[in-house]
Copies of this chain bind each other. A is one copy, B any other.
Amino acid sequence: MDVKTLCLGALTRGDATGYEIKKHFEDAFSHFYAAAGYGSIYPALAELAEEGLVTCTELEQEKRPDKKVYSLTEAGRRAFVEALMRTPGRHKIRSEFLVLMYFAHLLPPQRLAQVMDERAAEFDGLLAQIEACGGDLENAEIPVGVRFTMGYGLAVLRAGRDYIRANQGRLLAEVSTRQAEARAG
């Protein structure tokens, strides 16, 4: 799924500028889709406008730079739904964190503790973000799919964080004793 398709999706929620689209990704997608940068969003919007999938209205502002507000066209909405029908719906993970942990026996315990702390803290932050947004999962205002992704995030992030916290001490102890044994011969 490329940034163009993602932008179409963001615009199904209402008109927005490139800047606002990026914020939306950070607010709603951060726990399941690595955010795209401006370097890919702005060119994507320009291309979508050329293809007639979005329209662009320039607004002059006082005390602020001008902004370009994009709106989804009917063709854009159709193209987006078709893209959703076609994509295999893969779930890809690239976890340098787990690569680091996989090679734990090669790293000093201090470094491992740091890496685990950082990840648990990040998961706590993402959990807080989901909990803050919209209050509870029973809120009928929230679209059903959005609620699904929030609940999914809560379930999986908690499982990950709890696993890290529960196994941190043991892993550190085991790595320390193994490395001490290795040094002793």
Known: A102-B28, A162-B155. A122 touches B84 (CB 8 A): no
Write out the residue numbers on chain B whose beta carbons fall within 8 Å of the beta carbon of A95: 32-33, 90-92
Contact of A145 among B28, B102, B149 (CB under 8 A): B102
The one of B33, B155, B167, B171 in contact with A99, judged by C-beta atoms closer than 8 angstroms, is B33
**A98 contacts the other chain (Cβ, under 8 Å)?**
yes
What band does the interface of chain A fall in when counting residues whose beta carbon is under 8 Å from B?
A: 35 or more
In the complex, A96→B115 CA distance in Å?
Answer: 27
Chain B positions within 8 Å of A33 at CB level: 93-95, 98-99
Query: A23 on the interface (CB 8 Å rule)?
Result: no
Nearest residue, chain B, Cβ from A158: B159
When distances are taken between beta carbons in the complex, the residues of chain B under 8 Å from A85 are: 107, 111
Chain A positions near chain B (C-beta within 8 angstroms): 1, 6, 9, 12, 28-29, 31-34, 80-81, 84-85, 87-107, 111, 115, 118-119, 122, 143-146, 148-149, 151-152, 155-156, 158-160, 162-164, 167, 171, 174-175, 178
What are 5 A-B interface contacts by the 8 Å CB criterion? A89-B96, A89-B119, A104-B144, A148-B171, A156-B160
